[in-house]
Amino acid sequence: MTAYLITGVSICGADQPSDLLLYDGRVADPAEAPSDAVPVDGTGLVALPGLVDLHTHLREPGREDAETVESGSRAAAMGGFTAVHAMANTDPVADTAGVVEQVWHLGQIAGYCDVRPVGAITVGLRGERLAELGAMADSDAHVRVFSDDGICVSDAVMMRRALEYVKAFDGVVAQHAQEPRLTEGAQMNESAMSGVLGMRGWPAVAEEAVIARDCLLAGHVGSRLHVCHVSTEGSVELIRWAKSKGWDVTAEVTPHHLMLTDDLVATYDPIYKVNPPLRTKADVEALRAGLADGTIDCVATDHAPHPTEDKECEWAAAAMGMLGLETALSVVQQTMVDTGLLDWAAVADRMAVRPARIGRVADQGHPLEVGAPANLVLYDPAASRVVEASTLQSLSRNTPYRGMQLPGSVTATFLRGRATVLDGQLQ
Amino acid sequence: MKHHLLSSADLARDDAVLVLDTAAELLSLADRPIKKLPTLRGRTIVNLFFEDSTRTRISFEAAAKRLSADVINFSAKGSSVSKGESLKDTALTLEAMGADAVVIRHGSSGAPHRLANSGWVRSSVVNAGDGTHEHPTQALLDAFTMRKHLGDLDAKRVTIVGDVLHSRVARSNALLLSTLGAEVTLVAPPTLLPVGVETWPVQTSYDLDTSLDKCDAVMMLRVQAERMDAAFFPSAREYSRRYGLDDRRFKRLPEHAIVMHPGPMNRGMEISADVADSARSVIVEQVSNGVAVRMAVLYLLLSGADLSRTDPTASDSTKPEVVS
Ligand SMILES: [Zn+2]
């Protein structure tokens, strides 16, 4: 196996540059570099543990026209990720050991990152009967994260049972918090903007009411709750409160909710249609503050590929969701690092360490110390680029950042010591 | 004036006044024996109606024909559109046909905006009603009707009553009338006022009676009785009692005040039959004014480069002439 000797790199933003040897799949002592180690000039680059995404839609099986496990994991590698969690809302739904093992094997074959399947909580995401969570946990895919994402587990009893049941195998229930009755036909954030644009609103309370209930349930039964794509100021306050109670509640925020606001909807361009919807500037600021102080544990992309025809139409007919994998780190740099809210060590914590811990991903999210698995990303924060949808690895083109100038670029990604990206090129 | 008319917000005060003045000129021409003007001869106007609205389509069709334009009616029902053809493909077809203007009615808010700004067509786009967003030519014809009866709208009081939340007519009127200097009050039960209405250039009230005493025009919006199934109000009866324009309330109006309704009316629900048919109701007149206003819009969007300084009845060769 090729060894790589990375020289003069800033590990997690440390002032003193150092060398990193990747040897035999692990981080090793640079003094022991073999003579044929491939040199990588790390000058000016930041090394972070390989990023871990808790929320990725890979669309396979079922919508291979939008994304496949292979194309999605290529996009992940280009974004600096070494592990992604593939959401269960595929067709068929990932609600059996068979489907999650299939997705897991496809990830292994692709080889660009670890693909960790998320198991559905209920059969067919229908909210009626628990899926065989234990079978998925015991399968080759070792599922630990369970979610009906795309649909809220709105029934309080079903949610309680799921929270209780996953304790047997240290699982976590990841909730897409959306009160269904309050959001029937909803098109965008309910705000002055929705009133002017004549669009059915998606009120913040529909998210917050479910989060409040779920936190209380998690506290009551002593289980692990993870809140997907937190999007409102009120949600941040509720999660802060739940954590202050000592309950095992974690939360994620997407890059787009850290940057974009609902005034973009005035273009009626469905590239900005996403669920939960883009919110207000006050929400964006609260989300950034929540991520900075650790109330929100991690950034998760909610990478949601859609074919062009599902976005090239009128707003109401368009699909919800946006690409995220290949721009996540740049968006986090612009919104959190360049603003002084997070340093690179904290970025490593929010994008690798904590998501790996929440997903119970054993060999990901480790500090870059000798002996650690060699999962890492080299990132050039001084670089800058204009996002072009056609150059992305994803099969889909629905990036809301197209045409935007974003800071930074991923120079290299290593998965257990093997380069998946080198010199900015997919390997 | 802009290249498209998508929202009343596209009209600055000067633009709006120009449309209304032009419509007045055109209406006077309509009284002459020959009603057709050669102005838009050789131009193609497409009526693209994804939603049934015979009234609005006929009004636009009559307007285009009186300006001698070629009119293509493209209705969604029974066509490729209802078989899943996308808005984009429909737009590309219209572009290939060489449409100069597309008049679009669509059930989805923002569809005209999408058609105009996606680069699919070069033609002017006129919003003939989109979802619960806007219906700017309706607002123009309402303003036109009010001007005829009340004169300049500056400082005039207009009360708009009913289902503001779902009404594209209310949105377009609130914007246009305030642009023209009128003081607009929206009256509705709290459930039927949109979130954020306090940021609109209007007053709001939950009480109809107190909003009638000083108004110059009252516009009743259509309210669907089925809204009670979604708990917007308890029953048609209660709605009618609290927000209907009945004979008792009608008597509270000042002598000169006019009664308007964009149609189609629910007689007995938001307006009583006697009020709808009273001498101060201008509801039928609204319909006939619609043609003149739509002629003005199509004329101003399609003829000549510098539209803000043209007069359709002036004796310039680029201006319309009465065919004699
Ligand atoms: Zn979701």
pLDDT band for position B77 (cuts 50, 70, 90) = low
Q: Which residues surround ligand 1, an ion (CB under 5 A)?
A: A 149, 176
Among the partner residues B110, B117, B197, nearest to A195 by beta-carbon distance: B197
pLDDT band for position B312 (cuts 50, 70, 90) = very low
Distance from CA of A309 to the nearest CA of B (A): 8
CB contact residues (below 8 A), chain A span 166-205, against chain B: 187, 190-201, 203
Question: Do A13 and A96 reside in the same domain of the chain?
Answer: no
Residue A291 is assigned to a structural domain of this protein? yes
Expressed in angstroms and rounded, the spacing between residue B82 Cα and the centre of ligand 1 is 31
- pLDDT, position A215: 98
Question: Which residues of chain B form beta strands (DSSP E)?
Answer: 44-49, 70-75, 101-106, 124-130, 157-161, 183-187, 203-205, 217-220, 258-260
Expressed in angstroms and rounded, the spacing between residue B118 Cα and the centre of ligand 1 is 28
Largest pairwise CA distance in chain B:
60
Question: Do A324 and A390 reside in the same domain of the chain?
Answer: no
- pLDDT, position B315: 37
Contact A137, A96 (CB under 8 A): no
Residue A364 is assigned to a structural domain of this protein? no
- pLDDT, position B237: 93
- pLDDT, position B89: 87
Among the partner residues A190, A198, A267, nearest to B132 by beta-carbon distance: A198
Nearest CA in chain B to A197: B133
- pLDDT, position A79: 98
Average pLDDT over residues A62-90: 97
Largest pairwise CA distance in chain A:
67
- pLDDT, position B19: 96
Expressed in angstroms and rounded, the spacing between residue A149 Cα and the centre of ligand 1 is 4
Question: Is A195 in Cβ contact with B194 (below 8 Å)?
Answer: yes
Question: Do A171 and A287 reside in the same domain of the chain?
Answer: yes
Expressed in angstroms and rounded, the spacing between residue B313 Cα and the centre of ligand 1 is 59
Residue A367 is assigned to a structural domain of this protein? no
Contact B236, B269 (CB under 8 A): yes
Give the range among A248-252, A400-404, B57-61, B94-98 with minimum mean pLDDT. B94-98
Residues of chain A positioned with their CB less than 8 A from the CB of B130: 198
Picking from A217, A218, A289, A205, the residue whose alpha carbon sits closest to that of residue A249 is A218
- pLDDT for residue B80 is more than 60: no
A308 CB near a chain B CB, below 8 Å? no
- pLDDT, position B84: 54
Active-site amino acid positions of A: 302
Expressed in angstroms and rounded, the spacing between residue A290 Cα and the centre of ligand 1 is 19
Distance from CA of B112 to the nearest CA of A (A): 9
Question: Is B110 in Cβ contact with A314 (below 8 Å)?
Answer: yes
Question: Do A14 and A120 reside in the same domain of the chain?
Answer: no
CB contact residues (below 8 A), chain B span 157-196, against chain A: 168, 171, 194-196
* Number of folded domains that form chain A: 2
Residue with token string 């048609």: B236
- pLDDT, position B79: 56
Domain boundary among A338, A359, A380: A359
Between β-strands A298-299 and A376-386, what pairing exists: parallel, antiparallel or unpaired? unpaired
Residues of chain B positioned with their CB less than 8 A from the CB of A187: 109
Give the CATH number, domain containing residue A132: 3.20.20.140
CB-defined contacts A:B, below 8 A:
77
- pLDDT for residue B78 is more than 90: no
Question: Is B111 in Cβ contact with A314 (below 8 Å)?
Answer: yes
- pLDDT for residue B304 is more than 60: no
Residue A366 is assigned to a structural domain of this protein? no
- pLDDT for residue A325 is more than 90: yes
- pLDDT for residue B305 is more than 50: no
Average pLDDT over residues B138-143: 98
Contact B156, B217 (CB under 8 A): yes
- pLDDT, position B88: 87
Distance from CA of A395 to the nearest CA of B (A): 21
- pLDDT for residue B317 is more than 70: no
Residue A413 is assigned to a structural domain of this protein? yes
B132 CB near a chain A CB, below 8 Å? yes
pLDDT band for position A64 (cuts 50, 70, 90) = very high
Contacts of A126 (CB under 8 A, 6+ apart): none
B73 CB near a chain A CB, below 8 Å? no
pLDDT single digits (tens) A107-142:
999 999 999 999 999 999 999 999 999 999 999 999
Question: Do A179 and A226 reside in the same domain of the chain?
Answer: yes
Expressed in angstroms and rounded, the spacing between residue A218 Cα and the centre of ligand 1 is 19
Domain boundary among A301, A327, A359: A359
Contacts of A426 (CB under 8 A, 6+ apart): A74, A77, A78, A112, A393, A420
- pLDDT for residue B316 is more than 50: no
Active-site amino acid positions of B: 55-56, 83, 105, 135
- pLDDT for residue B308 is more than 50: no
Residue A151 is assigned to a structural domain of this protein? yes
- pLDDT for residue A92 is more than 60: yes
Contact B20, B147 (CB under 8 A): yes
- Record the tokens describing residue A55, joined without a space: 């929320």
Question: Do A417 and A346 reside in the same domain of the chain?
Answer: no
> For residues B28 and A76, which has the higher predicted lDDT (pLDDT)?
A76
Contact B26, B83 (CB under 8 A): no
Among the partner residues A187, A192, A313, nearest to B87 by beta-carbon distance: A313
Question: Do A165 and A284 reside in the same domain of the chain?
Answer: yes
Question: Do A391 and A300 reside in the same domain of the chain?
Answer: no
Distance from CA of A184 to the nearest CA of B (A): 11
Question: Rounded to 5 degrees, what are φ and ψ at B32?
Answer: -75, 165
Question: Do A72 and A194 reside in the same domain of the chain?
Answer: yes
Contact A103, A96 (CB under 8 A): no
Contacts of B12 (CB under 8 A, 6+ apart): B179
Nearest CA in chain B to A193: B196
User: A26 is in which domain, residue-wise?
Assistant: 4-46+372-426
Nearest CA in chain B to A187: B109
Average pLDDT over residues A359-383: 97
B108 CB near a chain A CB, below 8 Å? yes
Question: Do A352 and A377 reside in the same domain of the chain?
Answer: no
- pLDDT, position A415: 98
Distance from CA of A310 to the nearest CA of B (A): 10
Question: Is A315 in Cβ contact with B109 (below 8 Å)?
Answer: yes
Quote the CA–CA distance of A57 and B216 in Å, as a whole number: 57
- pLDDT, position B314: 42
Question: Do A336 and A390 reside in the same domain of the chain?
Answer: no
* CA A301 to chain CA mean position, Å: 3
pLDDT single digits (tens) B231-289:
999 999 999 999 999 999 999 999 999 999 998 899 999 999 999 999 999 998 888 89
Residue A365 is assigned to a structural domain of this protein? no
Domain boundary among A335, A359, A383: A359
pLDDT single digits (tens) B37-62:
888 999 999 999 998 888 899 999 99
Residues of chain A positioned with their CB less than 8 A from the CB of B133: 197-199
pLDDT band for position B1 (cuts 50, 70, 90) = confident
Instruction: Tell me the sheet residues that pair with B15.
Output: none
Give the CATH number, domain containing residue A12: 2.30.40.10
- pLDDT, position A219: 98
A282 CB near a chain B CB, below 8 Å? no
Q: What is the ipTM of this complex?
A: 0.88
- pLDDT for residue A165 is more than 60: yes
- pLDDT, position B321: 38
Residue A73 is assigned to a structural domain of this protein? yes
Nearest CA in chain B to A310: B86
Question: Do A333 and A407 reside in the same domain of the chain?
Answer: no
